[in-house]
Amino acid sequence: MLNILNRLQGAVVALGGVVLYFFVIPHHTEVVDYGWVRPQTLPAICAVALVLFGTIDALFLTGGVSLPSSEAARAALFVVLTGGALFAMDRLGYLAGAFALALLVMLTVGERRPGWIALGALAAPAVVWSIAVPLLGRTLP
């Protein structure tokens, strides 16, 4: 039963890569005719990697992986918190949501050092905003 679930997981990852490549990326990236790196380049590379590695996982299963329930619960909490922070970012704007998302990610993975939390949760989103909005003239959600 565990082998079937592992193969199914690989197939779902590969299918997710296909959906990203053919549907999500073309509809959610801006088409530009300048620059040597197009906005869809990196997402397309990541989608192809998902298809490749998901297919390898589904076809060439080498063994099972057990996931303790505590780690599964922590991962589920991480997904819920991330979804909530993304929802807040969509509703309240980047500056409000990004700081919360970065803080939640850092606390969920176990970071407790104040200096690193300040850098990761405060400085990193501020730097992203200061590069994207004033320098590049791009809008953030």
Query: How confident is the model over 54-81, as pLDDT tens digits?
Result: 999 999 877 766 778 888 898 898 889 8
Closest by alpha carbon to 77, among 111, 97, 104?
104
**Angle between helical axes of 94-108 and 69-92 (0-180°, round to 10):** 170
Domain limit, last residue, from 66, 95, 119: 66
Cα gap 49→14, rounded to integer Å: 9
Same domain as 76, residue 141 = yes
Residues 61 and 75 in one domain: no
Q: How far apart are CA 131 and CA 133, in angstroms?
A: 6
pLDDT for the residue numbered 31 = 82
Q: What pLDDT digit, counting tens, does each position of 9-39 carry?
A: 999 999 999 999 999 999 998 888 777 778 8
The answer to whether residues 11 and 62 belong to one domain is yes
Q: Under a CB-based contact definition with an 8 Å cutoff, are residues 38 and 1 in contact?
A: no
- The model carries a pTM of 0.61
Q: What is the pLDDT of residue 2?
A: 65
| 83 and 130 both lie in a single domain | yes
Q: Quick one: average pLDDT of 40-65?
A: 90
75/141 same-domain check: yes
Show the domain range for 5: 1-66
Q: Are residues 49 and 93 in the same domain?
A: no
Residue pLDDT, tens place only, 77-126: 888 988 888 888 888 888 888 888 888 888 888 899 999 999 998 999 99
| Residue 56 sits in the same domain as residue 73 | no
